[in-house]
Amino acid sequence: MKHFPVRITSAVTVISLATLATFATLATGVVRAAENFPTKPVRLVVAFPIAGATDILARHFALKMSEQLGYQMIVDNRPGAGGTIGSKIVSGAIADGYTLTMGTTSTHAIGPHLYSSKPYDPINDFTAVTQMCVSPTVMMVAAQVPAKSLKEFIALAKAQPGKLNFGSSGIGTQFHLSGELLKLLAGINIVHVPYKGTALVYPDMIAGQIQMLFDVPPAALPFIKQGRVRALGISGAKRTPVLPDTPTIAEAGLAGYEADLWWGLFAPPKMAKERLARVHAEAAKALTSPDVKERYAGMGTDVVASAPEAFTAFMKIDSAKWEKVVKASGARAD
pLDDT tens digits, 103-149: 999 899 998 899 888 899 999 999 999 999 999 999 999 999 999 99
Q: Is residue 32 predicted with pLDDT exceeding 60?
A: no
pLDDT at res. 35: 61
Q: In the structure, how many helices (H) and strands (E) does the chain have?
A: 11, 11
pLDDT at res. 308: 98
Whole-number percent of the chain with pLDDT over 90: 70
Q: Are 137 and 214 in contact (CB under 8 A)?
A: yes
| List of residues 6+ apart from 323 with CB closer than 8 A | 113
pLDDT at res. 17: 47
- The residue ranking higher by pLDDT, 332 or 231, is 231
- The residue ranking higher by pLDDT, 154 or 80, is 154
Of 23-27, 137-141, 200-204, the least confident: 23-27
Burial 254-269 (b: 16+ CB within 10 A, else e): beebbbbbbbbbbbbb
The Cα 264–Cα 303 span in angstroms is 10
pLDDT tens digits, 225-261: 999 999 999 999 889 988 999 999 999 999 999 998 9
Of 155-159, 219-223, 289-293, the least confident: 219-223
Residue from 136, 140, 300 nearest 204 by CA: 140
Residue from 328, 325, 312 nearest 265 by CA: 312
Q: Kindly report the pTM of this predicted structure.
A: 0.78
pLDDT at res. 198: 84
Q: Are 93 and 101 in contact (CB under 8 A)?
A: no
Average pLDDT, the chain: 89
Angle formed by the axes of helices 308-329 and 174-186, nearest 10°:
70
What pairs with residue 46 in β-bridges? Answer: 77
The Cα 249–Cα 220 span in angstroms is 16
pLDDT at res. 29: 47
pLDDT at res. 178: 94
The mean pLDDT value for 25-40 works out to 62
- Chain-centroid distance of CA 151 in Å reads 29
Q: Is residue 16 predicted with pLDDT exceeding 80?
A: no
State the pLDDT confidence band at 197, using cuts at 50, 70 and 90: confident
pLDDT tens digits, 141-165: 999 999 999 999 999 999 999 999 9
- Residue length, the chain? 334
Q: Is residue 326 predicted with pLDDT exceeding 60?
A: yes
Sign, CA dihedral 170-175-179-184, equals positive
